[in-house]
Amino acid sequence: MVSLRDLPSVDQLLQGAQVQEWIVAYGRPLTVEAIRSALNQARARFAQTGDLPNSVAILQVAQNILEKWITPTLLPVINATGVVLHTNLGRAPLSQAALFAAQSVSAGYSTLEYDLERGQRGSRLIHAEALLQRLTGAEAALVVNNNAASVLLILTALARRRGVVIARSQLVEIGGGFRVPEVMKQSGARLIEIGATNRVHLSDYEAALEDKPALILRAHRSNFRLIGFTSEPELSEIAVVARQAGIPLVDDLGSGALLDTARFGLGHEPMVQESLAAGADLVCFSGDKLLGGPQAGIIIGRADLIARLKKHPLARAIRADKLCLAALSATLLHYVKDEAEREIPIWRMIATPLELLKERAAAWAATLGQGEVLLGESTIGGGSLPGETLPTYLLALSVSKPDRVLTRLRQQRPPIIARLDENRVILDPRTVLPEQERDLLAGVRSAL
């Protein structure tokens, strides 16, 4: 009669050649823990069914457990969705120069907080500042870990326990539940709402000055548009009111475009340089959206205000690390050298000629021996240019069970993220990097 006594012991299983290889690859403690977990599962199965797995089956379970434990959850994927700044897929891929810069400073020691000329401690806050000044004409700049942190730092350092004027049309919520009013509350600032949801007048700003606010904040509506019976004063008009009152005007741009998106057949996304020229005292924006760099929050503007931000204790808690600063500097240098469209992946994607996209989709269809090339649309995503699309060519795969194929695509290594449209699996070449094409086609073949 079969009993739990027939189960092999941990020591017995550890003697096998296969397990000895695991010990070398994964270490003895992790291997022992996986075997014990597999044996516990065998005991639980015996209690339910009265059956005991043999040693081979137990080791297979242990191997599955080990692989699950050591497989990272943060993986590179192939983005075939056509969403250029896909927030769930990490937004902007980095340029080769940005990757090399991050690798160079992280493989050894660096001048993160060391002044080579003086031979003593320096400041990490100087990195990327000169490039930002050159690109935007700002007096000073500060880099933190993301744009939400930028807003939080500005409000905490300049408006804690004081009023901040903001239009009701700008009290937005963006991805992940980030709400402007809640960030303002967290900073200790007091919200002074003006205007209506759809219409805000310059007189609303002027009336709000009676509350003696610390600053005026304009927040860019990153992921939606107001249409119909709407109106808002221009930033330059708000700047005049702020200047006359002697209070700072802060423009939270979000996406951080340094190039004119209208040049690529898109609507015009407000540019960083335009905000400064219009009279904003501080402008904050993201590094990993239309800038095309690493996740970062960038603040530019008046030197006296930036100096106050740099000295605030919160600045240390949200500071950028060496990988971010290195990759951001390399990304900014592409703009300085007038090579952003060629070197920064998202701008290369946005600027790709339609005919080239058609050629790539047709080549995929020929290689796979199936699929239809269709005219379609790509989107920018990442809270930038809501509702704006770019024409593209798609490869549409008609399959009997598209949901199953999408699942199998996600199970490839690297995973392939596609989209479903009219019961067909859709692949958009715009967002597939050229060096990923071989893996894409192999993965699609396997999934089909």
**What does the DSSP assignment read for 125-178?**
GGTTHHHHHHHH--SEEEEES-HHHHHHHHHHHHHTTSEEEEEGGG--EEGGGE
Q: Tens of pLDDT along the chain (448 residues)?
A: 778 888 899 999 999 999 999 999 999 999 999 999 999 999 998 888 888 889 999 999 999 999 999 999 999 999 999 999 999 999 999 999 999 999 999 999 999 999 999 999 999 999 999 999 999 999 999 999 999 899 999 999 999 999 999 998 877 766 556 677 787 778 888 989 998 878 889 999 999 999 899 999 998 876 556 666 778 889 999 999 999 999 999 999 988 899 999 999 998 999 999 999 999 999 999 999 999 999 999 999 999 999 999 999 999 999 999 999 999 999 999 999 999 999 999 999 999 999 999 999 999 999 999 999 999 999 998 777 777 899 999 999 999 999 999 999 999 999 999 999 999 999 999 999 999 999 999 999 999 9
The vertex-214 CA angle with 212 and 217, nearest 5°, equals: 115
Pairwise CA distance, residues 76 & 382, whole Å? 18
Half-sphere exposure of 38 (CA within 13 A, CB side): 28
Based on its alpha-carbon atoms, the radius of gyration of the chain, rounded to whole angstroms, reads 27
**What SS3 state is found at 216?**
strand
Q: Which are the contacts of 111, defined by CB distance < 8 A and separation ≥ 6?
A: 122
pTM more than 0.85: yes
Third-level CATH fold of 78-87+348-447:
Aspartate Aminotransferase, domain 1 (3.90.1150)
**Class assignment of domain 94-343?**
alpha beta
Pairwise CA distance, residues 416 & 62, whole Å? 28
Could you tell me the two tokens for 281?
A: 């005292």
Tell how far CA 265 is from the center of its chain.
24
CB 214: neighbour CB atoms within 10 A?
20
